[in-house]
Amino acid sequence: MGVQVRGVLVQVLGPVRGWRDGQELDLGPAGRRAVLGLLVLARGHPLPRAELIDALWGDHPPPTAANILQTHVKHLRRQLEPDRRPHSPSTVLPGVGDGYALRLSSEQVDLGRFRTLVGAATAAQRTGDVRGAAVLSGEALALWRGNPMADVPLLADHPKVLALTRERQAAQARYCDAMLELGAGAEVLSTVAEMAAGQPFDEEAQARLIRAYHALGQRAQAFAAYRTVRRRLADELGVDPGPVLAAAHAALLHQPAPDRPVPTGTEPDPPAGAEVGAAPPDPVPAPTPTAVPRQLPADVYGFTGREAELRHLDQLLAVEYDHEPAPAPEDPTDPPSTVAAAAPTPAHRSSDATPAHRSTDAPPPVVIVAICGTAGVGKTALAVHWAHRLRARFPAGQLYVNLRGHDDGQPMPAGDALARLLAALGVPSDEIPLDLDERAARYRTELTDRAMLVVLDNAASVEQVRPLLPGTAPGMALVTSRDTLAGLVALHGARRLALEPLPPADAVGLLRLLVGPRAEAEPQAVTELAEQCARLPLALRVAAELAGSRPDDLLADLVGELADHRRRVRLLDTGGDPRGAVRTVFSWSYRHLAPADAVLFRRLGLHPGADIGTYAAAALAGLDVTRAERILAVLARAHLIQSTGRSRWVMHDLLRAYAAEVCGAEDPEPERAVALTRLLDHYLATAATAMDALYPAERHHRPEVRRPEADERVPVPPIDDRDAARNWLDTERAALVAVCGFAATQGWPGHVVSLANTLYRYLESGHHLDALDIHTQALHAARRSGDEAGQAHALTSLGAVHRLRGRYADAIEHHERALVMHHRGGDRYGQARTRSNLGIVYERLGQRDPAIEHQREALDLYGRLGDRYGEAGALTNLGNVYSELGRYDEAAELLSRSLDLFRVLGDRVGEAIGLCNLGDVQRELGRYDEAAATLRRSLGLFREAGHRNGEATALSNLGRVQTGLGRYDLAAEELGQALAWFQETGHRYGEASVLNSLGDALYAGDHLAEAGVRYRAALAIAVETGDRDEQARAHLGLAQVDRAGTAAPPGPPGPAGWPGQPPLSGDFGLSAPGRRH
């Protein structure tokens, strides 16, 4: 029990604040508030000084870190205990061991009060007291004043702070569910809609919105919500709605809505020709539940044996989660819906039995299984086969990543693996943190309470795996590695499954399956062949395919030939290491390849990426594409490579290593260098072709690239339109990152610099992590080769990516360094591009004077260069700044000039951007009808080009026009579409702007409470990103709501004794208009 200190209260559910006897305490700078917040999160337990220092400064603490921390604690003690005698021990913030603890009761901390109320609400819900659950949850939520510790940015991605957000979301869900059950859907509809908008891939949140609309009789809106989420899941994740959404949809189809009046103003206009409340024509049946996402590789053909190991895996899952034997594996002929219904998930554990090692009160730990064994023993095959058999046990989905732990190159860094996993979980690129620990925290947060299987294949070490493990049940991690991963067992409780070569009977059975009827006629030869292959599945498959390619030879002769080959190449494994047998089989199979086939096989070992396309393989071997396709098919039939579809190929890491070794032995170094140069030429030429299709007006800004159209040894795939260009870039993006890393360190600096300068516009369109990787490699390569111009362009591109990620200080630093280099090298185009980017950064920071100065300089430079495309962009940027200053006539003139230039250049995207910005200025001038027409033309062009952010921006600006025309329902509809797009693409600035515009529309329509919700949401995002313009709009909106008499959404009042939010103060530039994006 904490010490009761008279009149002291601490708040962390919003900005960190302290109060004593009703007076706010001076908690000092952000670092001091961070210390207080971390101590609150420790819930009375001591925090070591080292942990506090790490949270404050990370890996680079100052030499005086301990003294600074001690000073923070001293000042906090003075504020919390002003009456404490000098030199007497503190009872509120005592030193404990090598750290500190905060001794306050739960009633003195808003987080403690929140958790108490949530616990009471949960108890009420369990006893069937729905009204009590609603009231208690409402009181808990009333304690929140924004994002947790919103004024301490350095803790924004701390795992415990992220967990608080999850707690709040869970409480909101409980409150809304209870209110819906009580028939009070109208009171929580705006909250339900906000939750659904903020969690676009959360099926529970989307289903709740559908139920709320249904309960209010708004069936058209409910059907629209279902169609939207169904399309989103299909387009972004490639999956169908799961059971929760399916149930909500089925209820919508078959159950009538409650007989209740619909509140005025909440029903949207029905579509033309449709009857209000009518279901859409020909409704589709509720879809079958499926697992999402599905990343497992294809199951292995002819999987044989391993029955004991499969039973062991089944038992581990059953003991930890169900406390009962696992169900029989699903029959692939059963309908998916039957399988999903029959198989209990880890989230539904039996309460009848509990393993002896675990308390009944403790949540089950995440199950971690490490499948270990020698190379080629079939670890991946077993993991993938078992995962397919039990996929219905993990309805939230199955993640898979090949960690490349034993490739010739470096293993995949844990940070890269986390980026891939987060992307698969639906996290937009812009929201994936750069820091490894922050990524791991976000990943664990995303997996919380999700029954998901994570397969981590081919791990190198415990250090590589540790950040990739789920944090809590009901998830499960399945790890494969040649290493024993002892630390994973000792520190994380992993179960190790040591995989041995196949038993003799299973090895013979696999050969019989693969070889066919010939095996029955020569049983002794089959047995000897199995032993020659050390009973390793990979070697067995390669040998069986070679036997199949020689149908007229006796198996006994082939076995003798293999034995002779083993002796000849001296690969006999006298020490009992089965890997020698694998290499013998590889060598035997390789020696039977035709010369051209052998060349392509060994050249594949040179490729630095995880997979390779047909055109790139042809370039490595110096072949035309048709011949390369034929040879790749031969290699696939020989089980030396595998096809992954879409003309892409992968190699087992053992085969890759063998191919690289043979290439090094048989191809002289100059030949290898020529092959790799052809590969890099292929990537550079194809990237340039794709970028010309996507951004034709910028072609003269990109590096001059040799187009090897007449050289069949450097083939370039046909790229005839924008769709083909984007498809190639998206497919090859991971390979391009790998190739740039290779080129930067292995002697091709010019190629990586040219690739980076060719791809920068595509990478900036949403692939920011890959952009940081490629431009950083280009910067290092340019430095090593003394290429100052290359360094300058890399710095400019890095600055642009930092700006897009909201890291403005880093953006300015990179741009200023680039500007010095561009000026020194006399590169006027580089100066213009960098100044234009700097102008955008200062505009985002609300510093209009330097923004105008840089844009004018850029405009002048582009004009002197005769660069009309650059001139059009600078005019657009300058017009935007003038618009923000309220100089609308000047802005309209500049934007009209920019629009004319884009039209002359034939740049449809540039024209769409110009129309969008011009339409918004027309709105500011009160020319609403003209603005609406301009913006609709812009919207059409954006949709034609597939430009998602542009489409969302046009919809956002149209929504503001509708508000000006008094069409508030239509405004909300268009702004809602824009909000969904921005949230899906991770465009935080657009999200804040649209939320403010939604607040404006709701305020104008006299929905004050709902308007306040939107303004607060916009303010939270704008504070997070440092966007002063949107902060100003949000503060102005909230002030209007306050003056109208409703400052917060209706609901239960906060607990007595907690202070309200003090009046806002400070120079927020409230006269500035809202910025477009």
CA–CA distance, 712 with 724 (Å, rounded to integer): 21
Cβ-based burial of 1040 (10 A; exposed 0-12, middle 13-18, buried ≥19): middle
- pLDDT given for residue 1076 in this prediction: 35
- pLDDT given for residue 1056 in this prediction: 34
- pLDDT given for residue 739 in this prediction: 94
- pLDDT given for residue 675 in this prediction: 95
* Cβ contact 801:767 at 8 Å: no
Which whole number is the average pLDDT over 820-849?
A: 92
User: Which residue in this structure is represented by tokens 């020909």?
Assistant: 282
CA dihedral for 874, 877, 882, 885, sign (positive or negative)? negative
Which pair of tokens denotes residue 586?
């590889």
Pairing of strands 612-613, 648-650: antiparallel
Higher per-residue confidence, 654 vs 275: 654
CA dihedral for 803, 806, 809, 810, sign (positive or negative)? negative
* pLDDT band, very low/low/confident/very high, at 440 (cuts 50, 70, 90): confident
Rg (the chain; Cα; Å): 32
Helix ranges, 638-668 (H): 653-666
CA–CA distance, 766 with 985 (Å, rounded to integer): 8
Average pLDDT in the chain:
80
Instruction: Write phi, then psi, for 9 (nearest 5 degrees).
Output: -135, 145
Higher per-residue confidence, 908 vs 1053: 908
Please name the residues in contact with 661: beta carbons below 8 A apart, sequence gap of 6 or more: 605
Higher per-residue confidence, 591 vs 711: 591
Predicted confidence (pLDDT) per residue in 722-771, tens digit = 888 988 998 899 999 999 999 999 999 999 999 999 999 888 876 888 99
CA–CA distance, 149 with 910 (Å, rounded to integer): 41
Higher per-residue confidence, 186 vs 37: 37
Q: Is the pLDDT of residue 886 over 60?
A: yes
- pLDDT given for residue 152 in this prediction: 87
Which whole number is the average pLDDT over 622-649?
A: 87
Predicted confidence (pLDDT) per residue in 512-556, tens digit = 888 888 888 888 988 888 888 888 888 888 888 878 778 878 888
- pLDDT given for residue 947 in this prediction: 75
Largest CA distance in the chain: 99
Most confident of 249-253, 548-552, 930-934, 1001-1005: 930-934
- Rounded to a whole number of angstroms, the distance between the first and last alpha carbons of the chain is 51
- pLDDT given for residue 567 in this prediction: 58
CA dihedral for 132, 137, 138, 142, sign (positive or negative)? positive
b/e per residue 378-413 (b: at least 16 CB within 10 A):
bbbbbbbbbbbbbbbbbbbbbbbbbbbbbbebebbe
* Cβ contact 1040:1003 at 8 Å: yes
DSSP codes, 636-684? HHTTSSEEEETTEEE--HHHHHHHHHHHHHHS-HHHHHHHHHHHHHHHH
Higher per-residue confidence, 68 vs 435: 68
* pLDDT band, very low/low/confident/very high, at 581 (cuts 50, 70, 90): low
* Cβ contact 170:144 at 8 Å: no
CA–CA distance, 506 with 307 (Å, rounded to integer): 10
Predicted TM-score (pTM) of this structure: 0.58
User: CA-CA distances (angstroms) from residue 861 to 704, 811, 824?
Assistant: 21, 21, 15
CA–CA distance, 731 with 727 (Å, rounded to integer): 6
Helix ranges, 695-787 (H): 722-745, 749-764, 768-785
* pLDDT band, very low/low/confident/very high, at 632 (cuts 50, 70, 90): very high
User: Which residue in this structure is represented by tokens 């040649």?
Assistant: 482
Predicted confidence (pLDDT) per residue in 322-370, tens digit = 444 444 443 333 322 222 222 223 333 333 333 444 444 444 568 899 9
Which pair of tokens denotes residue 139?
């009181």
Look at residue 468 and give its three-state secondary structure: helix
Which whole number is the average pLDDT over 897-922?
A: 90
- pLDDT given for residue 573 in this prediction: 42
CA–CA distance, 465 with 478 (Å, rounded to integer): 11
* Cβ contact 130:181 at 8 Å: yes
Other CB atoms within 10 A of residue 353 CB:
11
User: CA-CA distances (angstroms) from residue 781 to 740, 750, 795?
Assistant: 10, 8, 12
- pLDDT given for residue 292 in this prediction: 63
CA 75 to chain centre: 40
CA–CA distance, 930 with 920 (Å, rounded to integer): 10
Most confident of 102-111, 402-411, 458-467, 491-500: 458-467
CA–CA distance, 606 with 611 (Å, rounded to integer): 12
Which pair of tokens denotes residue 811?
């953006």
Higher per-residue confidence, 420 vs 4: 420
Whole-number percent of the chain with pLDDT over 70: 84
